[in-house]
């Protein structure tokens, strides 16, 4: 077997994953908090106010990274879903389902902060334009993935059904991203253009935004490992390695008092 595959299979085995995730998690939490605090300080205190919107422009330091994460996590879920469907990798099922509530949280934050920004800027909390509607659809897709998974008694069957929905929902991501270019929308176009390099945002405002984007990525990984560890324990509660670590785990997982 190719060494990379060997490594992949070893890391993907639940006991190895549980231990590795436990070791990595504190680092990701620490990086997320440190970079997040710096990013928030630079964005909310040090960055200049916008010439037109004034101080309310600072909402973007939360709104934009959350919006990016809401889409990034959905893509991650679909990727894990594909691995689960094709190779039946247990850990990728766990990662997919653990990512759903985190992505849902970022989507809710995106919608709420956007709405709070829209009131002073546009004059309305909500408009049914293509950008806002497609982001709302994303929230419902997260609900759908989570709900479909919970609807099955057999968690592995549920995970595969949810994976199919995650893959179908992938279609929504380019719609969200390009909605402001394809159609007339109230929402403005992207200020940050990584590919063409011609961003229409001043560098003093761009840096805090990028820091927040990095911090939310670390936050996601830390939170994901945290949730996935709990999920792995529950899934493997009957296995020897869990029994050795936590005697009595099987009884409590079956709903009986330990």
Partner 1 sequence: MNPIRRRRLILILLGLSAVGIASALVLLALRQNIQHFVSPSDVDAGLAEAGRRIRIGGIVEEGSLRRASDSLDVHFVVTDRFKTLPVHFRGILPDLFREGQSVVATGVLRDRQLFEAEEVLAKHDENYIPAEVADAIARGKAKQAEAQQ
Contacts with partner 1 by CB under 8 A lie at 47-54, 57, 60, 82, 85-87, 120-124, 127-130, 164, 167-168, 170-171, 175, 182-186, 188-191, 200-202, 204-205
* CA–CA separation, 184 and 119 (whole Å): 19
Q: Which tokens go with 10?
A: 């070893």
The least distance separating partner 1 from the CB of residue 163, rounded to whole angstroms, comes to: 9
The least distance separating partner 1 from the CB of residue 217, rounded to whole angstroms, comes to: 22
The least distance separating partner 1 from the CB of residue 215, rounded to whole angstroms, comes to: 20
Q: 109 vs 209, which CB is nearer to partner 1? A: 209
* CA–CA separation, 45 and 63 (whole Å): 16
Q: 36 vs 81, which CB is nearer to partner 1? A: 81
CB 88 within 8 A of CB 12: no
The least distance separating partner 1 from the CB of residue 205, rounded to whole angstroms, comes to: 5
Q: 139 vs 164, which CB is nearer to partner 1? A: 164
Give, in order, the Cα–Cα distances in Å from 181 to each of 168, 171, 173, 208.
Answer: 23, 16, 14, 25
The least distance separating partner 1 from the CB of residue 115, rounded to whole angstroms, comes to: 14
DSSP 7-21: HHHHHHSHHHHHHHH
Q: Which residue has the tokens 């549920």?
A: 158
Q: 110 vs 121, which CB is nearer to partner 1? A: 121
Looking at residue 1, the DSSP 8-state letter turns out to be -
Q: 190 vs 243, which CB is nearer to partner 1? A: 190
* CA–CA separation, 75 and 53 (whole Å): 32
* CA–CA separation, 66 and 26 (whole Å): 22
């Amino acid at each position: 077997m190719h060494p990379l595959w060997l490594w992949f299979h070893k890391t993907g085995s639940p006991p190895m994953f549980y231990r590795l995730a436990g070791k990595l998690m504190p680092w990701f939490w620490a990086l997320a908090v440190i970079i997040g605090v710096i990013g928030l300080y630079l964005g909310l205190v040090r960055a200049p106010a916008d010439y037109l919107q004034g101080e309310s422009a600072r909402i973007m330091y939360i709104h934009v990274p959350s919006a990016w994460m809401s889409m990034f996590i959905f893509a991650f879920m679909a990727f894990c879903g594909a691995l689960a469907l094709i190779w039946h990798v247990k850990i990728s099922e766990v990662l997919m389902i653990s990512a759903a509530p985190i992505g849902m949280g970022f989507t809710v934050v995106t919608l709420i902060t956007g709405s709070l920004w829209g009131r002073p800027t546009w004059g309305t909390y909500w408009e049914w334009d293509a950008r806002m509607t497609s982001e709302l659809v994303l929230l419902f897709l997260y609900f759908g993935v989570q709900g479909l998974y919970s609807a099955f008694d057999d968690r592995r069957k549920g995970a595969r059904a949810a994976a199919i929905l995650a893959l179908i929902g992938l279609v929504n991501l380019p719609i969200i991203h390009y909605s402001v270019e394809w159609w007339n929308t109230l929402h403005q176009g992207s200020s940050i253009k990584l590919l063409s390099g011609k961003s229409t945002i001043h560098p003093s405002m761009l840096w805090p935004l990028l820091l927040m984007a990095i911090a939310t990525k670390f936050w996601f990984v830390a939170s994901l490992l945290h949730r996935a560890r709990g999920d792995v324990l529950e899934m493997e509660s009957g296995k020897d390695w869990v029994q050795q670590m936590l005697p009595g785990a099987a009884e409590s997982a079956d709903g009986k008092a330990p």
